[in-house]
Chain A
Amino acid sequence: MQLALAAIDSNPPAATGAAEDASEPLSFEGVYSDHFDFVWRSARRLGVPQASLDDCVQDVFLVVHRRLSDFEGRSSVRTWLFGIVRRVVRDHRATARERATTSDTVELSQLVDTRSEAPDESAARAEATRILNALLETLDDDKREAFVLSELEQFSVPEIAEATGVNVNTVYARVRAARRELEQALARLRHSQQWTQRCAK
């Protein structure tokens, strides 16, 4: 992990664009409490397995802790944070792939819940989250990041461009492609036996 952190440090995220109120220096605790949820769910949505989610989130904030004084307020905190998240996540996912064992791997079809009961709204949301995360697994990292920021976090396209270090046209193209691929993945799921069973209920 030291290597990963060093690599991150040597490659700071782009920090241009929308201005954040930089009149007061940010406190680490403030950033942590304000943005923990964002970092946590972003890591999740970018595909960090549950087993290493805590680790990943903590690594993100270790980088934040170390580099907070470098934050110049030229971008929003969330944009800046996401730049860190995506690098840490990519590193974690690469590590996870290297270490993947039979017991750790989860087949896509298994990610989709087939429980017959969904007794309340929160369970339905949890299930939607699970399905969406399974669908997101079909995307490559670039499209996944663009889609998560656009559709789930509702970042503006310029913000996404900044957070991911590409131009706005590329962002548009990635979001479009991501949506197309997700629709196709959902269609495949719909035609699976599991969906047939579910829809028949």
Chain B
Amino acid sequence: MREVEPNSLDAIIDAARVGDHPTHEDRERNKRALFAKIAGATAAGGSIVASSTTTAAAPALATTAAAVATSTALTAKLAGAAVVLTLASVGAGVAYTRRSAPARPASASAIDRHTQSSHQSISSPSAPSIARRAAPLPARAAMDPAPQPPATDTLAAQRAANTVTAQPARPAVSAAAPQAATSARAGHTTRVAQSAPSTLADELTLLRSARGALARSDTTAALATLDRYAQQFSRGMLRPEALSLRVDALCAAGQRERARAVASELAREAHGAPLVERALRACR
């Protein structure tokens, strides 16, 4: 706050006018989610009428539908747990907040096809522990070569449930769903302990890189690195540290509310840790 004198409304307005823009990531994330919604609504016979532009957008859907699971939202309170989990699994390996969700969509939809490879590694519906540990990075990379936005909270998966009009889970899966749902609800505290099959050194490398970027005030690079960490180590051993860094980076980037959301998430996951106290104070 050295360039902008706090005692001038005009100075604040001038600075805010040029300083308030979406990031590339914001643009891409929304584009994927939006086009998936449009295509989904059209395919479902919804009220959104397909235009010629939808045809142009359709190819994008192949790589974007799976990414819907990471779009942020608030509106999925009504989604049934099984449905939520079903779609959460669509984002398996994508959303770092993914709860254990072995269920998979019944249909051979585009989403299903494009997440097939990731499901192969977690396809045992009665073994949520396998799903938790799975970090299908190669599969993920294959199914979504586009830059992957960060998942910000569990609502992302819920939103996907609302958005894509979830298919009912297969009967074989339904028995596992309530179990998984329970685990999802309790997951905040147990998740951290369930470490991903990652190597600590690799995790550290990424986090050091993020910290370095942050030290240079390069919040974009820091957040991008943290996104990469989240993708690669959705159950990483240093996940609390990564979340803490993300809070710092978001604060520095001016995304205060998002920072607070991440801090809250960290507080749920790593209750009592010194990091939490620090994160909750981060933007003050």
A residues lining the B interface (CB < 8 Å): 1-2, 5, 27-29, 32, 36-37, 40-41, 44-45, 49-55, 57-58, 61-62, 65-66, 68-69, 95-96, 99, 103, 106, 110-111, 113-115, 118-133, 135, 151-152, 179, 182-183, 186, 189-190, 195, 198-199
Chain A proximity mask over B67-86: 1 for CB below 8 Å, otherwise 0: 00001111101000000000
User: Count the A-B residue pairs with Cβ separation under 8 angstroms: how many?
Assistant: 186
- In the complex the two chains form, is B284's CB within 8 Å of A54's CB? no
Given A29-B53, A50-B261, A58-B71, 17 more A-B residue pairs with CB atoms under 8 Å apart are: A32-B31, A32-B34, A36-B30, A37-B21, A37-B22, A40-B22, A41-B21, A49-B257, A51-B152, A52-B74, A55-B73, A55-B75, A62-B38, A95-B75, A118-B3, A129-B254, A195-B6
Answer yes or no: B26 CB below 8 A from chain A CBs: yes
Chain A positions within 8 Å of B49 at CB level: 66
| Contact partner, A152, options B13, B54, B256, Cβ 8 Å | B13
**CA–CA, A182 to B264, complex, Å?**
30
Answer yes or no: B246 CB below 8 A from chain A CBs: no
**CA–CA, A187 to B217, complex, Å?**
30
A121 touching B22 in the complex, CB below 8 Å, given contacts A51-B257, A126-B252: no
A41 touching B20 in the complex, CB below 8 Å, given contacts A96-B74, A126-B254: yes
Residue picked from B1, B33, B72, B152, most chain A C-beta under 10 Å: B1
- In the complex the two chains form, is B51's CB within 8 Å of A28's CB? yes
- In the complex the two chains form, is A65's CB within 8 Å of B48's CB? yes
Chain A positions within 8 Å of B219 at CB level: 122-123
A198 to B: closest C-beta gap in Å: 6
- In the complex the two chains form, is A103's CB within 8 Å of B264's CB? yes
B residues contacting the other copy or chain, number (CB 8 A)? 62
Answer yes or no: B15 CB below 8 A from chain A CBs: yes
**What are 15 A-B contacts with C-beta separation under 8 Å?**
A50-B258, A51-B152, A52-B73, A55-B73, A55-B74, A65-B48, A65-B51, A66-B49, A103-B264, A113-B1, A113-B283, A125-B20, A128-B1, A131-B6, A135-B9
A106 touching B53 in the complex, CB below 8 Å, given contacts A55-B72, A58-B34: no
B residues lining the A interface (CB < 8 Å): 1-4, 6-7, 9, 11-22, 26-27, 29-31, 33-34, 37-38, 41, 47-49, 51, 53-54, 56-57, 71-75, 77, 152-153, 155, 159, 217, 219, 251-258, 260-261, 264, 283-284
**CA–CA, A135 to B9, complex, Å?**
10
- In the complex the two chains form, is B73's CB within 8 Å of A62's CB? no
B163 to A: closest C-beta gap in Å: 9
Chain B positions within 8 Å of A66 at CB level: 47-49
- In the complex the two chains form, is B38's CB within 8 Å of A125's CB? no
- In the complex the two chains form, is A128's CB within 8 Å of B16's CB? yes
- In the complex the two chains form, is A129's CB within 8 Å of B20's CB? yes
Chain B positions within 8 Å of A124 at CB level: 1-4, 15, 19
A174 to B: closest C-beta gap in Å: 16
Q: Which residue of A lies closest to B282 (CB)?
A: A115
Chain A positions within 8 Å of B283 at CB level: 110, 113, 115
B159 to A: closest C-beta gap in Å: 7
